[in-house]
């Protein structure tokens, strides 16, 4: 497992992730929706990996839902960084991280453009369950 760390610029939202393979073997996905394009976000995830997110202040965290409204984009209200996205179903939290929020810049594989807006909700959910981190742990320090 390869450990990576990241989060928003001010440190309100942080994460520790474990990738099953070398970062070079992961394709980052650049979403072509207006929201992700405006934020310059490109996502990486690993269905065989692990992800633990920590939020220092929920008050300084925005959970933005756009598009189909079924995914929470985690955005720091203080510094404006989109850290990643989460989807919950059946008590299981799935997630993907914005590859540009990784602290130590890693050499991920190629970046591809994806267009989730072309998928219906059930197709999106099926895809997320296949490629996103499963069993994401989300903790709140101010809780």
Host domain of residue 77 = 2-137
Phi/psi at 107 (5° precision): -90, 85
Residue 143's pLDDT is: 59
Query: Distance between CA atoms of 85 and 131, rounded to whole angstroms?
Result: 13
Query: Given a cut of 90, is residue 138 above it in pLDDT?
Result: yes
- The predicted-structure confidence for 86-129, as pLDDT tens digits, reads as follows 999 999 999 999 999 999 888 898 999 998 888 899 999 999 99
- The predicted-structure confidence for 4-44, as pLDDT tens digits, reads as follows 999 999 999 999 999 999 999 999 999 898 888 899 999 99
CATH classification of the domain holding 101 = 2.170.150.70
Query: Distance between CA atoms of 63 and 69, rounded to whole angstroms?
Result: 11
Residue 143 in domain: no
Residue 54's pLDDT is: 98
Residue 53 in domain: yes
- Tell me how many domains the chain contains: 1
pTM of the model: 0.92
Residue 69 in domain: yes
Is 98 in contact with 42 (CB distance < 8 Å)? yes
H/E segment holding residue 43: strand 43-44
């Amino acid at each position: 497992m390869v450990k990576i760390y990241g989060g928003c610029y001010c440190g309100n939202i942080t994460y520790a992730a474990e990738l099953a393979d070398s970062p070079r073997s992961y394709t980052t996905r650049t979403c072509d929706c207006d929201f992700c394009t405006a934020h310059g976000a490109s996502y990486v995830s690993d269905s065989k990996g692990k992800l633990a997110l920590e939020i220092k202040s929920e008050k300084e965290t925005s959970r933005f839902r756009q598009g189909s409204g079924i995914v929470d984009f985690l955005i720091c209200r203080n510094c404006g960084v989109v850290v990643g996205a989460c989807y919950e179903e059946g008590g299981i939290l799935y997630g993907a991280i914005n590859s540009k929020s990784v602290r130590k810049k890693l050499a991920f594989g190629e970046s591809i453009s994806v267009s989730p807006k072309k998928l219906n909700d059930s197709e999106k959910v099926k895809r997320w369950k296949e490629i996103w981190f499963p069993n994401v742990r989300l903790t709140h320090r101010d809780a």
